Amino acid sequence: MPKPGLEGIVVGESAICQIDETTGSLRYRGYLIEELAEHATFEEVAYLLLHEHLPSSIELQSWQAELEHAEQLPNLVRPFLQTIPSSVHLMDILRTAVSFLGMTDPDNNNPSHEANIRKATSLIAKIPLLISWAIQARHDPLPLQPLSQGSFAGNLLYLITGTIDPDKAKELEISLNLYAEHELNASTFAARVTASTLADLYGAVAVAIATLKGPLHGGANEAVAVMLQTIGEPEKAKSWIHSRLTGKERITGFGHRVLKHEDPRTTIMKRRAEGLSQKLADTRLYEMAEIIEQTMKEEKGLHPNLDFYTAVVYLLLSIPLETFTPIFVASRITGWCAHIIEQQDHNRLIRPRASYIGPSSRDFIPLHCR
C-alpha cells in the first residue's frame, strides 16, 4: 500500500548520513553528531560532508583558503539585489540569487565530480555574504564585507548582526553543525530529484532553498521564535499552549517524521540554550521553553525537535528573525551539495510511480454534446 508523504519508504542508498530510528543516533559519514557538534568547526564538518573524511591540518588550511578566496560575489549580483522590493522574503532572494550565480559560472553545466566540488565550495563561501547583502543592499550603500580572518560562523554572525564575538560565534557554529545534514529530508530529496535529471548544481540548490522555505520544514525555527515572543512570560506559557491545543492548533517545534523519540540534536541545543541563558543572566526564554516542552510531553506525548531550542539560542544571540531560515541555508547547503554530488556521481533518474485513484473509464463526449 502507498504511504502518504513516502513515510518510511526507502528510495535509495547514501553514504552521507545515518539516522538510527531505534536509538535516535545520528552520524555524518560515520561520526556521531554529539562529537562533531561541539568539538569540530563548521569548516571541518563541511569538508567531511563534501570530501568524505575529516581534514588533516594541511587540508583544513587549504580548504579555508579556498573558502576565503571564493567568498566575494560577482559584480553583477549587487545591482541585481538592489532591484528587489524590500517586502520580498529573504528566502526568495536567496533562491533567485543562487540561480543568478549559476548564470555567472562558466562551469554551470559541467556535472563532473571536480566541477561540482568547486561549485559547492564557491556556494558555501558566498552564502553568508549573500544573506548579508540581501538584508542590506536595498538600504545601505556600503553593506558589510567579510572579515579578513576568523571562522565561518564568526563571519556569518558578523555579516548578519555586525557583531564580532567568538563566544557567540561558537554557539552559532554548534547550530550550523547540527543543521548541516539530515538524510532525505524534504529539501534534500527535492535537490536529489533535480540533480538526477543532470540539472546543474545551482539549479538543484535553488530547488532545495524553495523547499526549505516552507513552514513545515525550514520555517519552523522562525515560527517557534514568534510563539515565544507572543507568549512573553513563563507564567503564561502553559495556559497559552492549552488554549491552542483545545482549539486543535498545531504547536510548531514538536514532532519529527523520522525521529519519534528524543532527537540527539535537540538535547545538544537545549543544553546550549540553558548555558547561554545563564551566562547572559536572561533565563526568561529558556524557562518558557521548558514549560512548553513539559506541557507538550504531558498533553501530546511529543518531543521538541531541533528548531525549538535553536529559536531560543538565536533570540538570545540577538539574531534577526528574518535570518533564521537563511542561516539554515548557510548550514544545510553543505548537506545538499554532498547529496547532489553523490547523486550525479552514481546517477539514475529518480522517477517514482503513483497509485491511481481516479475514474477507471470514461467515454469521450464531443464539446457540442457536453
Q: Which of 105, 200, 263, 307 is catalytic?
A: 307
Determine contact, residues 17/26, Cβ cutoff 8 Å. Answer: yes
Q: For the beta carbon of residue 34, count every other beta carbon within 10 angstroms.
A: 15
CA distances from 93 to 83, 98, 178 (A): 11, 9, 24
CA distances from 123 to 101, 129, 269 (A): 9, 10, 26
Q: Which of 256, 263, 303, 339 is catalytic?
A: 256
Backbone angles phi, psi at 26, to 5 degrees: -135, 130
String of b and e for 49-77 (b: at least 16 CB within 10 Å)? bbeeebbeeeeeeebbebbbeebebeeeb
Q: How far apart are CA 52 and CA 17, in angstroms?
A: 11
Q: Which residue has the cell 491511481?
A: 356
Q: Where are the beta strands (DSSP E) in 61-144?
A: none
Amino acid identity for residue 209 in this structure:
I
Total residue length of the chain: 370
256 among known catalytic residues = yes
Determine contact, residues 341/116, Cβ cutoff 8 Å. Answer: yes
> Which residues are part of the catalytic machinery?
256, 307
